[in-house]
A = this chain, B = another copy of it.
Amino acid sequence: MKATIKDVAREAKVSISTVSYAINGNERISEETRKRVLEVAKRLNYVANGNAKMLKQKKTRAIGLFFNSWFGPIYSEIARGIERTVHKMGYDLVACSLYGEEHSTAYKYLRDRMVDGAIVLTNSFDDQFLHSVASEDLPLVVLDREIQAPHIYSILIDNFGGAFAATKALISSGCKEVYFFSGPQDSYDNQKRLDGYIAALGYFNVEFNKDFIIPADFTEESGYQQMKALLAKGIAPRAIFSGNDEMAIGIIRAAREHGVTIPGDLRLVGFDDIRESEMTVPALTTISHQKLEMGTLAAETLFSAINGDDNIDSPKIIPTNLIKRETL
């Protein structure tokens, strides 16, 4: 069985309070006693019971990271930024998926307050649940989603600005008929990217044509299929702004199969700058955003809230920029 603080106290011939103080580095304990206690603790392989500690202190020193996909290329970069900051602050980071919906670990850990703060990378939690859970003792940072409530802070990508820049670049290249491959209707990112696209058309006096909006779902497969369908119908777009890079990769594949050359016949811009996008042939021109920085900013914002800073901007916007490669 595992050694407890009592065992250490008995072996070291001191009280359990002394053991606790010694182990937690409290000043009041004499050097000699501390040494003895630490030695005994080591010998008995003693590690404080985390649950007892948390129960008493009402702090977990853990941050939750909740998501629903086991880590697309974007999320893992964001997670890296988060984990660095969380570690630097001396907290633990536990990642929980939403698999199982209301019965998922993510729901449970949030409801049961198993963490001192959380970063939410998913839209599967409904707003109401987040509202009910967020509090001074459990602030929330939500990525890629606008939500207005006390103790909830959002970090957003400048989807609108990025989409505007992408569309502008396409128009400037001389083509007035810019197609937009759309992600899912209910995607917040997609909605904002569509808005940026439409705004850019308006800005440059290009008429909006709803036939140029191609419905897809952010997967490579959907980009591929929709592009094939277009070409099969004899429609050959000369310029496409793809709502994300994955669809753009599908578009490139379909184009190649149909002998459409890029950027000769077709100019293409994606969004996200995922790792794969510099390896496509031709390399994808895309809208990049700083994912690592997004993670860092998310974690920093969360710690500001945890530390009681009541003057936190929300939402915070992550800028984007156009990365010129070979498809435009």
Of A97-105, A160-168, A233-241, A307-315, the one with at least 4 CB within 8 A of chain B: A97-105
Report if A87 contacts B (CB, 8 A): yes
Interchain CB contact under 8 A, B51 and A55: yes
Q: Which B residues touch A84, using CB under 8 A?
A: 99
Quick one: given A93-B105, A99-B83, are A49 and B112 in contact (CB under 8 Å)?
A: yes
Residue of B nearest to A253 (CB): B279
Q: Per a CB cutoff under 8 Å, which of B49, B75, B83, B112 touches A97?
A: B83
Distance, CA A112 to CA B92, complexed state (A): 13
A77 to chain B, nearest CB (A): 8
Distance, CA A59 to CA B270, complexed state (A): 48
Q: Which B residues touch A6, using CB under 8 A?
A: none
Residue of B nearest to A96 (CB): B94
Interchain CB contact under 8 A, B70 and A92: no
A51-82 CB mask vs B (1 if < 8 Å, else 0) is 11011000010100000011100011101100
Report if A220 contacts B (CB, 8 A): yes
Q: Which B residues touch A249, using CB under 8 A?
A: 279
Distance, CA A174 to CA B249, complexed state (A): 34
Distance, CA A51 to CA B256, complexed state (A): 57
**Number of this chain's copies in the complex:** 2
Tell me the residues in window 239-264 of chain A with beta carbons closer than 8 Å to chain B beta carbons. Answer: 249, 253, 256
Interchain CB contact under 8 A, B49 and A55: yes
Report if A28 contacts B (CB, 8 A): no
Quick one: given A51-B51, A92-B105, are A79 and B83 in contact (CB under 8 Å)?
A: no
Report if A210 contacts B (CB, 8 A): no
Tell me the residues in window 99-152 of chain A with beta carbons closer than 8 Å to chain B beta carbons. Answer: 99-100, 103-105, 108-109, 111-114, 132
A9-41 CB mask vs B (1 if < 8 Å, else 0) is 000000000000000000000000000000000
Q: Per a CB cutoff under 8 Å, which of B62, B71, B87, B111 touches A104?
A: B87
Residue of B nearest to A2 (CB): B113
Q: Which B residues touch A104, using CB under 8 A?
A: 87
Known contacts A62-B105, A92-B108; 20 additional CB pairs below 8 A are A49-B55, A49-B113, A51-B51, A55-B55, A69-B76, A70-B75, A70-B79, A71-B76, A71-B79, A83-B99, A84-B99, A92-B96, A92-B105, A93-B96, A93-B105, A94-B94, A94-B109, A95-B96, A249-B279, A276-B276
Q: A residues touching B (Cβ–Cβ < 8 Å)?
A: 2, 45, 47-52, 54-55, 60, 62, 69-71, 75-77, 79-80, 83-84, 87, 92-97, 99-100, 103-105, 108-109, 111-114, 132, 220, 249, 253, 256, 276, 279, 281
Closest 7 CB pairs of A and B: A71-B71, A70-B76, A92-B105, A95-B95, A51-B55, A50-B112, A70-B79
